[in-house]
Amino acid sequence: MKNLLLVFTLLLSQLTWAQSELKPGFDLLEAGKFAEGASFFKTYLTTKDSTNRTALLCYGRGIGLSGNVAEAQQVFQKLQQRYADDFEIGLNWAESLMWAKQYAEAKTYYEKLLTQQPTNFAATLGYANALSSLHSYRQALTYVERANLLQAGNASARISRKYIKLGLADQLSKNQQYGEAAQLLETILQDFANDKDALFAKAQILVTQERYADAQRVYQTLVEKPENQPNAYLGLSYLSFLQKKKQQALTYANQAIAAANAYPETQLKAQLGRVSALGWNEKFRQAFALLDSLDSRYPNNVDVTVSRATLSVWNKQYAKGAELYQQALQLKPSSFDGNLGYADARHAEGNDAEAYRYVRKTLEFYPNQLDATRFMQRLDLAHKPTVTTQAFVSRDNGNNVSTNYSLNAAFDLNTNFRVNVGYRERYVGTVSEGRNANVKTMTAGFRTRLAPFWTVSGNAGLIRLQKDSTVSHLNVNITNEFKIGRYQMADIRYNRDAQNFTAGLVGYNITYHNLIGTYNLATPFKLGFYSQYIHTLYSDDNQQKSLFASLYYDLKYAPVIKAGVNVQLMSFAQQRPEVYFSPSQFMSVESFFHIENLTMPKQKLLYQVALAGGVQRIEQEAWQPTYRLSFQSGYRPAKNIEIMAYVLKSNIATSSVTGYSYSEAGLKGRWVIVK
């Protein structure tokens, strides 16, 4: 509509001004008082001259620009019947097609007009605007430049060129062609210094490119004008969130609300910006209270409903969030935040079939949209065929050594059922004797989600132990994982395997059955608790009980930084130190520090560091100091490829079944097969 109004003065000036009695009506139309102007010309046509061409044209324009497009088109059609091939009437008819959003028809009609008068400024500019409305921005830019050549410095043409360039820049940005988009915006700023539309678009591109300092400077320029402040402060709020400055994000959101008091049309957006900032700071009670207030002021508002849905997902109320997103989509099926938000909520629940469906719907409405494209890539990384491999060597202070290789592949039968196959080979021996035992394991398994709170996984296979003779055993692992509310996880696992840590154990041919229970609590105030109990039955009639507990605090989420205290208790019913470490009592206590960036998808250089120190006591012996350290470093050349090298070392007795200090070093690789 902005571009349509720009050519109004131009077309009006082409009308006949000789009739001074019509001048008051012309003045009303020029001032943008279209309804009053239409009323003036209607009175004139009714009381004085019902066939006056100029008055009829102006009447048609007045009612069309005040919203009655159908009646305006009837006026122009009658004029066309009376004045066949009248070029001026044709221009008004073409513009009425633009009012009616019949852009394809308008384009065709402007083409007809340009065959008659190829250098007509109004037809050229109108054609450019029609092309722009059809999102043919490059062609539109060609014609608006022609219009500028036909009438150099014309204000309407300059402003049309600005909006066409904005449209093209947005189109380029959506296709990740940020350089060309930025150049277009700079040309707008050369024509219109500090133009707010160009500056906001420029800031958005800079944010997308993660050029946060540059984006900050643009927003700071925008806040210099009061009318820009609500949206500029919201931009600064989001920018602060991206930079992990959550409290600063809330400060800017509050400034946006204060600035919006003078601009009522921005108040809702500013309030919703504060809701987001409160959510980023995990102040959910305040955020939901603010949404309750907004619901009463703006009932059935799509943006308020979407904001409540998003906040619910952040607060781990995934089912509630999904339900609210569906409510928003009933109000506006094409809502970007509604469709992608629903996909996110279902993904958080583990329902990736629905997540895929709604990401695809989002991309149908918004082709190449960056957030939706990244979401699709994230889903693909979890569901496309994946190959992992590992090779490592280990050694303990009892002179036991091993060399190990493994290869695993996993793929989906559908988004809710993933299967895997694996092969592992282990050579064990001693420093003096070399390799004198071999262990080969082949497995096949699955993972599936039975309910939003319940996931089952398992595998089974054959383990072959070879030393003086060869024996084979069944290898089984079944796990049930449960989500208990928003903050708790538990799992129950059974597995059957054979002892193969050392050559001696391979020779003893000892199998075991584990029953394992695990519980994890991750509170909203960053304190977490993890515990695991293991009861083991050995084929040599021994039994083992183990309890591990960890109390930790999440210092930071990206990268992950946590610290805490671990306690471990272990006991065996029978002591068989000549075969494996089996004390009647064991206890260790350690404090630990952990940092990693492995879960940050944009990182190429990867690391994980864990350090721990404490004490342990074996039966009635004196307390001994302990240490544990591990370091991983790697490279992610693409989102679907990771290569890692690692070392770990520990003198905690439970690090190996021999009770000795243990060290390990190896390489790991992961490849997700995507297009």
Q: What is the pLDDT of residues 10-19, one digit of tens each?
A: 454 444 444 5
96 and 184 in a single domain? The answer is: no
Residues 588-607: what's their mean pLDDT? 95
Largest distance between two CA atoms of the chain? 120
Q: What percent of the chain has pLDDT over 90?
A: 83
Domain assignment present for 368? yes
Q: From start to end of 558-603, where are the E strands?
A: 560-572, 586-596
Cβ atoms of 593 and 610 within 8 Å: the answer is yes
Give the three-state DSSP class for 283.
coil
183 and 330 in a single domain? The answer is: no
- pTM of the predicted model, to two decimals? 0.86
Q: Write down which residue in 45, 77, 101 finishes a domain.
A: 101
In Å, what is the CA distance from 350 to each residue of 133, 318, 327? Answer: 41, 10, 21
Contacting residues for 13 by C-beta, under 8 A, at least 6 apart: none
410 and 557 in a single domain? The answer is: yes
Cβ atoms of 255 and 266 within 8 Å: the answer is no
Residues 114-142: what's their mean pLDDT? 96
Q: What whole-number distance in Å separates Cα of residue 673 and Cα of residue 409? A: 11
- Domain of 76, CATH number, reads 1.25.40
pLDDT tens, residue by residue, 514-568: 999 999 999 988 999 999 999 999 999 999 999 999 999 999 988 999 999 999 9
Let me know if 660 is exposed, middle or buried by CB neighbors in 10 A (0-12, 13-18, 19+). Answer: middle
14 and 112 in a single domain? The answer is: no
Domain assignment present for 598? yes
Q: Write down which residue in 332, 355, 382 finishes a domain.
A: 382
Q: What whole-number distance in Å separates Cα of residue 436 and Cα of residue 399? A: 13
pLDDT tens, residue by residue, 31-82: 889 999 999 999 999 998 888 998 999 999 999 999 999 999 999 999 999 9
The range of the structural domain enclosing residue 377 comes to 300-382
562 and 652 in a single domain? The answer is: yes
How much is the pLDDT for 653?
85
Question: How many folded domains does the chain comprise?
Answer: 4
Which residues face 561 on adjacent strands?
Answer: 556, 595
Residues 124-131: what's their mean pLDDT? 96
Which residues face 522 on adjacent strands?
Answer: 528
- The yes-or-no verdict on residue 507 having pLDDT over 50 is yes
- The yes-or-no verdict on residue 492 having pLDDT over 60 is yes
In Å, what is the CA distance from 12 to each residue of 8, 45, 79, 175, 612? Answer: 6, 18, 16, 39, 81
Q: Please state, as a whole number, how many other Cβ atoms lie within 10 Å of the Cβ of residue 449.
A: 20
Cβ atoms of 550 and 566 within 8 Å: the answer is yes
Contacting residues for 187 by C-beta, under 8 A, at least 6 apart: 165
How much is the pLDDT for 435?
62
Give the three-state DSSP class for 192.
coil
Domain assignment present for 10? yes
59 and 129 in a single domain? The answer is: no
506 and 587 in a single domain? The answer is: yes
Give the three-state DSSP class for 438.
strand
How much is the pLDDT for 320?
96
Q: Write down which residue in 139, 169, 193 finishes a domain.
A: 193
Q: What whole-number distance in Å separates Cα of residue 154 and Cα of residue 132? A: 18
Residue with tokens 């994982």: 481
Give the three-state DSSP class for 370.
helix
In Å, what is the CA distance from 621 to each residue of 574, 585, 586, 616, 653? Answer: 18, 10, 10, 9, 13
11 and 97 in a single domain? The answer is: yes
Q: Whose CA is closest to 117, among 14, 17, 16?
A: 14
Domain assignment present for 146? yes
601 and 668 in a single domain? The answer is: yes
Cβ atoms of 4 and 99 within 8 Å: the answer is yes
> How many angstroms from the chain centroid is the CA of residue 246?
18
Domain assignment present for 278? no
How much is the pLDDT for 85?
84
Cβ atoms of 426 and 439 within 8 Å: the answer is yes
Domain assignment present for 136? yes
Q: What whole-number distance in Å separates Cα of residue 36 and Cα of residue 65? A: 11
Cβ atoms of 578 and 562 within 8 Å: the answer is no
Range of weakest confidence among 277-286, 581-590, 658-667 = 658-667
- Domain of 129, CATH number, reads 1.25.40.10
Domain assignment present for 426? no
Contacting residues for 137 by C-beta, under 8 A, at least 6 apart: 131, 164, 165, 167, 168, 171
Tokens of 76: 């122009």
Q: What is the mean pLDDT of the chain?
A: 92
Q: What whole-number distance in Å separates Cα of residue 534 and Cα of residue 496? A: 13
- Domain of 529, CATH number, reads 2.40.160
49 and 126 in a single domain? The answer is: no
94 and 111 in a single domain? The answer is: no
Q: Please state, as a whole number, how many other Cβ atoms lie within 10 Å of the Cβ of residue 289.
A: 13
Range list of H helices, 245-351: 246-260, 267-280, 284-297, 302-314, 318-331, 336-349
31 and 113 in a single domain? The answer is: no
Residue with tokens 């050559």: 503
Domain assignment present for 321? yes
